[in-house]
């Protein structure tokens, strides 16, 4: 099997020759630490290097495709520094949020997941009806700036491939949170549900139109809906509210994906997701990640409870990776029966933090290779 066939077989509960070996990735601070702990300074592809050190064949890693169709606002807000404070910066990001971050970073860290950056929210871009009407103008499906030159041809060129290629866009909870801010979104769902539904319907229509255009030219191996909507222990809104407000969008996108032959339709959410999994299954999702252990997610327990109705990516406790040794071995042993039962691509349960040392990462790769059949 090639890696694409292997990924699809695993995530759809078929019988792969081996389970995909996708350890997960770190951020800038992680890589900087590893360069001090044994990873050569000129090596950036640390996963391949670790496998080479272990004598393990290096499989391709699941990748994201840029479809050449931009789901983000057009035009974007100006990224700028507003104020310097002792130890921090007040900045405006490309989404129009004004927030405070440590002065060890800059506004570019809010555009991409360069590192683990904590921020304090000061102002969000939609605080009134007038703000909303102005925001909608930035999501014109027909704006030519939204489409890269020759995007259809580029998608045609990767139709026949061996590597896993998927795509994602924001779900309604994630997107409304970016417009309104978390607290304002939660209050809007209670105080003005009709306005919330209007915004959700707008986002659903916009994304569906773009998705339909992409699926005419390319079928991704997975379609992931970004929907971070859970804390530790509980979701941010109740399963009932998720079903009421969010599920219609999830169902619509899932039907479009299924009609186009997309084999894996999944949802990404940090935090404890146990209460949400039934709603996701009912809404058509067949996969979930990253299964954060510290939030209370128990992947083997979920496998017993939901069987083959839900596949997973992630689920390896980053805290066990940091401790290494017997603790890390026990973590892989805990997960092994569920991994071997199918429907799981084991990986770090989020981005790999800098407290996971380079030697522990290499050992983690070795143990993961053993349980997935690569070593």
Q: Give the count of beta carbons closer than 10 Å to the beta carbon of residue 202.
A: 17
Q: How does pLDDT run across 175-231, given as a tens digit for each residue?
A: 999 999 999 999 999 999 999 999 999 999 999 999 999 999 999 999 999 999 999
Q: What is the pTM of this model?
A: 0.96
> For position 57, what pLDDT does the model report?
85
Query: Pick from 218, 225, 202, 181: which is nearest to 73 by CA?
Result: 202
C-alpha span between 286 and 280 (Å, rounded): 8
Whether residue 114 is predicted with pLDDT greater than 90 in this model: the reply is: no
- Residue 112: pLDDT band (50, 70, 90) is confident
What is the distance of C-alpha 93 from the center of its chain?
Answer: 20
Sign of CA dihedral 183, 187, 188, 193: positive
Whether residue 366 is predicted with pLDDT greater than 80 in this model: the reply is: yes
Using CB atoms within 10 Å of the CB of residue 307, give its burial: 0 to 12 exposed, 13 to 18 middle, 19+ buried: exposed
> For position 106, what pLDDT does the model report?
92
Strands in 88-92's sheet, in edge-to-edge order, are: 80-85, 88-92, 98-102, 119-123
What integer is the mean pLDDT of 239-251? 98
- Residue 281: pLDDT band (50, 70, 90) is very high
In the beta sheet, which residues pair with residue 167?
A: 223
DSSP secondary structure code for residue 85 in this structure: E
Q: How does pLDDT run across 300-359, given as a tens digit for each residue?
A: 999 999 999 999 999 999 999 999 999 999 999 999 999 999 999 999 999 999 999 999
Q: Which domains does the chain have, with CATH numbers?
A: 3-72+126-372 (3.20.20.210), 78-124 (no CATH)
């Amino acid at each position: 099997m090639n890696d694409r066939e292997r990924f699809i077989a695993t995530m759809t509960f078929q019988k792969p020759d081996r389970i995909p070996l996708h350890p997960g990735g770190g951020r800038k601070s992680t890589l900087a630490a590893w360069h001090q702990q044994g990873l050569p300074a000129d090596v950036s592809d640390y996963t391949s290097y670790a496998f080479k050190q272990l004598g393990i064949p290096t499989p391709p890693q699941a990748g994201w495709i840029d479809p050449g169709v931009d789901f983000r606002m057009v035009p974007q807000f100006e990224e700028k520094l507003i104020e310097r404070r002792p130890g921090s910066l007040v900045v405006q990001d490309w989404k129009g949020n004004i927030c405070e971050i440590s002065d060890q970073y800059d506004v570019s860290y809010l555009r991409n997941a360069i590192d683990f950056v904590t921020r304090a929210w000061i102002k969000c871009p939609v605080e009134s009806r007038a703000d909303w009407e102005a925001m909608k103008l930035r999501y014109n499906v027909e704006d030519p700036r939204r489409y890269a030159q020759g995007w259809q041809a580029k998608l045609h060129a990767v139709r026949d491939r061996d590597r896993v290629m998927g795509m994602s866009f924001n779900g309604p909870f994630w997107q409304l949170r970016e417009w309104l801010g978390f607290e304002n979104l939660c209050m809007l769902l209670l105080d003005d549900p009709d306005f919330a539904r209007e915004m959700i319907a707008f986002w659903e229509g916009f994304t569906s139109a773009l998705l339909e255009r992409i699926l005419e030219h390319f079928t991704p191996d997975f379609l992931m809906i970004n929907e971070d909507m859970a804390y530790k222990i509980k979701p941010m809104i109740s399963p009932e509210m998720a079903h009421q407000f969010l599920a219609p969008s999830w169902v619509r996108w899932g039907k479009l994906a299924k009609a186009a032959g997309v084999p894996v339709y999944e949802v990404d959410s940090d935090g404890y997701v146990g209460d949400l999994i039934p709603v996701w299954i009912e809404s058509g999702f067949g996969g979930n990640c990253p299964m954060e252990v510290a939030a209370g997610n128990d992947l083997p327990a979920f496998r017993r409870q939901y069987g083959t109705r839900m596949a997973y990516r992630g689920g390896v406790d980053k805290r066990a990776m940091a401790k290494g040794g017997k603790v890390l071995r026990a973590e892989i042993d805990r997960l092994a029966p569920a991994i071997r039962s199918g429907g799981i691509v084991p990986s770090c349960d989020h981005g790999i933090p800098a407290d996971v040392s380079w030697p522990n990462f290499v050992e983690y790769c070795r143990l993961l290779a053993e349980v997935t059949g690569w070593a």
